[in-house]
Amino acid sequence: MRSKILIPKNELNRLYYKEKKSKYKIGKIYNCSFKTVLNRMREFGMKPLSRSIIQSKYRKNNFSGDKIEKAYLLGFRLGDLNVYKTTDSSEVIVVRCHTTRKEQIELIRFLFEKYGKVTYKINNNDKSYYINCFLNNSFIFLLPNIDKVENWINRNEKYSFSFAAGYIDAEANIGVYDGRARFKVDSYDKNIIFWLYGLFVKNKIICPRPLKIGQKNEIYDKKSGYKYNKNLWRVRVSNAQSLEKLFKNIALYLKHKKRVNDFNKCLKNLNDRRNK
């Protein structure tokens, strides 16, 4: 008769809870079956971890809870991130992005590396980047992909401009064209575009009412046959004083290096034109 395989409780706790080894891997260490490990766990009254935790060995930290940071992340997520769970019961939130800009990768790493594992790779064919961030359930607030700004953001000016900064970092086009500073955001998110317009008007930032610049299913690239998935909307600011006011309100919350550099170029343009 085969003798009972002994696995010390402290070792089983270390392997299972601390190192996140599966019952199968622990069985290999002690030359026994998955069922034997399970039996020892039951004898010790050990509660099983969810599969997603076992599969995710790296440490994950809870979201800070800071509402200014939360507002920014929501704006950035709605502008440029894909967020999902692999299964409904998963305890891992996956944040993904595909981009051609290295600055975008650096920003996403800056935003999420302190909270969880971040991996990225480059596609050598088109020199684009794929990035994945693995976070815990404290980031469940990033899951909804809804064209709407939450009320708690809308009621607070700091949260509003932080959300706007996140969305602008993801979607805006800022630069000097034909010798003049310009700002615009083109997006399928009609409600957010009109919310930005309302935020600007409320803060005396002069801008025209948003325009629909692309029709759903309209081909915008004849060579490749690309179509607009939805109606495309634009909000823009061109007035010099209003651009300066916008930059002043948003600068504190911007995190994207390119957006910050573009804003600085615009401010220089405005100053140069004023001094001519």
If asked whether residues 170 and 252 sit together in one domain, one would say: yes
d(CA 183, CA 139) in angstroms, rounded, equals 31
pLDDT for 64 equals 96
d(CA 198, CA 63) in angstroms, rounded, equals 30
Which pLDDT tens digits describe the chain residue by residue (276 residues)?
A: 456 788 899 999 888 887 778 788 898 888 888 888 988 999 999 887 765 555 555 678 899 999 999 999 999 999 999 999 877 777 789 999 999 999 999 999 999 999 998 998 888 888 899 999 999 999 999 999 999 999 999 999 999 999 999 999 999 999 999 999 999 999 999 999 999 999 999 999 999 999 999 999 998 888 878 899 999 999 999 999 999 999 999 999 999 999 999 999 999 999 998 887
CA distances from 220 to 57, 212, 234, 259 (A): 45, 14, 15, 25
If asked whether residues 220 and 123 sit together in one domain, one would say: no
3-state secondary structure at position 272 = helix
User: Are the CB atoms for 71 and 160 separated by under 8 Å?
Assistant: yes
If asked whether residues 136 and 154 sit together in one domain, one would say: no
Nearest to 185 by CA among 206, 161, 211, 205: 211
pLDDT for 155 equals 97
If asked whether residues 157 and 250 sit together in one domain, one would say: yes
Count the neighbouring beta carbons within 10 Å of the beta carbon of residue 184: 17
If asked whether residues 222 and 110 sit together in one domain, one would say: no
d(CA 163, CA 157) in angstroms, rounded, equals 10
If asked whether residues 259 and 167 sit together in one domain, one would say: yes
pLDDT for 50 equals 63
The single-letter code of the amino acid at 275 is N
- Residue-range definition of the domain harbouring residue 39: 9-49
pLDDT for 1 equals 46
